[in-house]
């Protein structure tokens, strides 16, 4: 078609058909957004950690979307929901954990709510007063056993998994003042703690588990003794009063202690979960524990008041046994009561010691032979007083040569050893005998006779005073007069004295004459026949 001359020269537009599937640039933005969102979704799914459920007794401290799950104070998850269990007995918390926490969810992984606690002398969770409660986590040791449902602990574990050391089992009759977290001491150094406790199935005792930290766990040997170190141990002996305690903490909250016996030598270390007996105190724990124990019975016919289970059986100052039980027995034949006392003997303590350089050993290997031999030589059991203040008794073994003959009764189980009355019992019997004899003396009749005798003596004295006394007084006066006369006659100037002097002089002259005569006759014996010759002129 011809163009008018005045129109500009423009190219002619040619209409082309538009493709139906042609993409416009404006749609690239939402497409990229969708791709990014999808990638983020896929990445989130790929990076999503496991979902677990934890059952707790209560929901205290749990809040959906806020309560964190921490391992070594690092966030590894968060609680998403908190709901009651179908039976309404517990609270189930659902939590999402990080992907790298999957390997930590094994059979014995533990969870607990961290909140402020005071237990066993330890204070924990004070930081939650500001930050709020969270769920603590501890990895178990059962690798390869995955788990997604857990039961939360009511109390935090005492030690975390992987801490070097060993756990041991203790058997005790009672719990005492112990609790989870109570300290365990070795030579007054805290080396462990109580991890848990359970009542035995039969109710006869308590089982405790203690954890001893490394390297102190190597001091727990096969013969190690554990005892309760709670409170203060006061003892009185010849050295004075002794007060023993592990620490102030042990006094307040209780504690345990352990140590091997002083005579322990080359004993192997105890393995994990080795079972030990828990003693009440150190004295009981360190007592010698003999491997060989023989059981006998002493049958006493006197009061055993003051004798208790655990009282020693003493042989000349050496403890060779202890009282195991005390019973009563009625003899239907003799119609009398007796007190059988069951004792445990330790034959290893009956040892023989010979000259130096020679070996010793047990007196005999035959139990009956030894018992019969000792009994035949007067070995008897006797109750004696151990403490005059408390009245405590013990059983003394000694030889009584003058005791009535007796023998072992092997027909009873346990066999019966003969006894003799105690020293106090013998004294009581002697006093009783004396009192009985005194009671047979007729003190009332003797008193009446003595009273009558005194009355007769009084009457006699009155008679003497009334009748004899005047006569006696006159006699005494006459005797005094005679003595005065004799005294006057004996005076130097008296006539009797002068006469006596003259008489003595005459007797002296006469004696001189006789002496002269005797001398003459000795010279002239013929004068007795012829006479004295006349003197020559």
* Residue 191, Ramachandran bin (φ over 0: left; ψ between -120 and 50: alpha; else beta): alpha
Neighbouring C-beta atoms of residue 302, cutoff 10 Å: 17
Q: Are residues 313 and 249 in the same domain?
A: no
Q: Both tokens of residue 1?
A: 């078609």
Mean pLDDT for the chain overall = 78
**Residue 304 and residue 375 in one domain:** yes
Q: What integer pLDDT is reported at residue 185 of this predicted model? A: 92
Q: What is the pLDDT of residue 431?
A: 66
Please, where are the H alpha helices in 246-303? Answer: 248-253, 282-285
Q: Note the pLDDT tens digit of each residue in 356-395.
A: 445 555 555 567 777 888 888 888 888 888 877 777 889 9
Higher-pLDDT residue of 116, 15: 116
* Shared-domain flag, residues 198 and 111: no
The answer to whether position 419 is within a domain reads yes
Of 388, 405, 424, which closes a domain?
424
Tens-digit pLDDT profile for residues 453-469: 888 887 777 777 777 66
* Residue 342, in any domain of the structure: yes
Decide which of 407 and 118 is more confident: 407
Domain count, the chain: 3
Read off the pLDDT of each residue in 92-108 and give the average, rounded to a whole number: 86
Q: Looking at the structure, do residues 302 and 404 belong to the same domain, yes or no? A: yes
Q: Do 412 and 303 fall into the same domain?
A: yes
Residues 274 and 210 in one domain: yes
Residue 306 lies in a domain: yes
Is position 507 within any domain? Answer: no
Q: What confidence score (pLDDT) does residue 355 get? A: 46
Give 242's pLDDT tier (boundaries 50, 70, 90).
Answer: low
Alpha-carbon span 507 to 496, nearest angstrom: 16
Domain that holds residue 417: 294-424
Q: Which two tokens stand for residue 19?
A: 């493709």
Q: pLDDT tens-digit profile of 132-151?
A: 788 888 887 766 678 888 98
Q: Is the pLDDT of residue 237 over 50?
A: no
Phi first, then psi: give them for residue 95, nearest 5 degrees.
Answer: -135, 150
* Domain stops at, among 107, 125, 151: 151
Q: Following DSSP, what letter does each residue of 391-428 receive, concatenated?
A: --EEEEEEE-TTSPP---BTTSSS-EE-B---HHHHHH
Full-model pTM: 0.52
pLDDT at residue 274 tops 70: yes
Is the Cα dihedral 246, 252, 257, 262 positive or negative? positive
Distances (CA, A) of 465 to 469, 471, 472, 476: 5, 10, 10, 15
Residue spans of alpha helices (H) in 367-494: 367-376, 423-440, 443-463, 469-489
Sign of CA dihedral 320, 326, 330, 334: positive
Burial class (CB in 10 A: 0-12, 13-18, 19+), 324: middle
pLDDT recorded at residue 23: 54
Are 101 and 76 contacting, i.e. CB atoms less than 8 angstroms apart?
yes
What pLDDT shows up at residue 73? 85
Please compute the mean of the pLDDT values over residues 286-291 and round it to a whole number: 73
Q: Is the pLDDT assigned to residue 275 strictly greater than 90?
A: yes
402 and 302, same structural domain?
A: yes
Is residue 482 assigned to a domain? no
* Residue 229 counted as domain residue: yes
Q: Report pLDDT digits (tens) over 53-99.
A: 999 988 888 888 888 998 888 888 899 999 998 888 899 999 998 88
Residue 30's pLDDT is 77
Task: Clarify whether residues 381 and 342 are in a common domain.
Answer: yes
The three-state (H, E, C) secondary structure of 136-166, written as one string: EEECCCCCCCECCEEECECCCCCCCCCCCEE
Mean pLDDT of 270-294: 84
User: Is 237 domain-assigned?
Assistant: yes
Q: Which residue has the higher pLDDT, 94 or 501?
A: 94
pLDDT at position 211 is 93
Residues 310 and 346 in one domain: yes
- Cα–Cα distance between 190 and 213 in angstroms, integer? 9
- Same domain for 302 and 413: yes
Last residue of a domain, one of 151, 183, 216: 151
Please list the residues that pair with 300 across neighbouring strands: 339
Q: Identify whether residues 262 and 322 lie together within a single domain.
A: no
CB-CB neighbours of 502 under 10 Å:
9
- Is the per-residue pLDDT at 107 higher than 60? yes
Classify residue 531: in a domain, yes or no.
no
Token pair, residue 120, equals 């066993």
192 and 272: one domain? yes
């Amino acid at each position: 078609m011809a163009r008018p001359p005045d129109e500009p020269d423009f190219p002619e537009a040619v209409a082309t058909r538009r493709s139906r599937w042609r993409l416009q640039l404006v749609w690239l933005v939402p497409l990229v957004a969708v791709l990014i969102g999808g990638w983020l979704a896929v990445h989130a799914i790929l990076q999503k950690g496991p979902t677990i459920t934890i059952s707790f007794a209560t929901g205290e401290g749990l809040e959906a979307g806020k309560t964190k799950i921490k391992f070594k104070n690092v966030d590894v998850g968060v609680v998403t929901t908190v709901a009651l269990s179908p039976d309404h007995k517990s609270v189930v918390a659902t939590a999402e954990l990080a992907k790298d926490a999957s390997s930590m969810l094994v059979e014995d992984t533990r969870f607990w709510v961290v909140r402020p606690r005071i237990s066993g002398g330890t204070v924990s969770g004070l930081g939650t007063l500001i930050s709020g409660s969270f769920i603590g986590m501890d990895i178990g040791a059962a690798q390869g056993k995955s788990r997604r449902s857990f039961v939360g602990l009511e109390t935090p574990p005492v030690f975390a998994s992987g801490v070097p050391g060993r756990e041991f089992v203790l058997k005790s009759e009672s719990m005492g003042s112990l609790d989870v977290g109570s300290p365990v001491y070795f030579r007054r150094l805290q080396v462990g703690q109580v991890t848990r406790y359970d009542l035995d199935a039969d109710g006869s005792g308590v089982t405790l588990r203690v954890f001893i930290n490394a390297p102190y766990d190597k001091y727990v040997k096969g013969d190690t003794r554990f005892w309760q170190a709670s409170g203060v141990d006061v003892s009185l002996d010849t050295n004075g009063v002794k007060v023993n305690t592990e620490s102030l903490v042990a006094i307040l909250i209780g504690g345990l202690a352990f140590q091997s016996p002083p005579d322990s030598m080359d004993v192997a270390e105890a393995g994990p979960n080795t079972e030990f007996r828990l003693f009440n105190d150190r004295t009981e724990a360190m007592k010698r524990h003999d491997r060989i124990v023989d059981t006998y019975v002493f049958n006493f016919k006197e009061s055993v008041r003051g004798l208790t289970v655990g009282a020693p059986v003493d042989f000349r100052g050496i403890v060779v046994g202890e009282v195991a039980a005390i019973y009563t027995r009625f003899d239907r034949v003799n119609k009398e009561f007796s007190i059988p006392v069951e004792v445990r003997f330790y034959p290893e303590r009956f040892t023989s010691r010979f000259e130096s350089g020679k070996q010793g050993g047990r007196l005999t290997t035959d139990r009956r032979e030894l018992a019969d031999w000792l009994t035949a030589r007067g070995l008897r059991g006797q109750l004696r007083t151990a403490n005059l203040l408390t009245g405590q008794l013990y059983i003394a073994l000694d030889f009584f040569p003058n005791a009535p003959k007796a023998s072992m009764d092997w027909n009873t189980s346990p066999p019966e050893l003969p006894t003799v009355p105690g020293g106090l019992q013998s004294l009581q019997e002697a006093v009783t005998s004396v009192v009985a004899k005194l009671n047979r003396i007729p003190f009332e009749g003797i008193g009446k006779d003595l009273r009558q005798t005194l009355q007769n003596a009084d009457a006699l004295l009155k008679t003497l005073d009334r009748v004899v006394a005047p006569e006696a007084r006159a006699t005494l006066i006459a005797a005094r007069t005679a003595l005065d006369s004799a005294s006057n006659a004996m005076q130097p100037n008296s006539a009797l004295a002068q006469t006596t002097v003259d008489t003595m002089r005459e007797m002296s002259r006469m004696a001189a004459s006789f002496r002269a005569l005797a001398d003459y006759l000795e010279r002239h014996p013929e004068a007795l026949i012829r006479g004295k010759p006349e003197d020559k002129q």
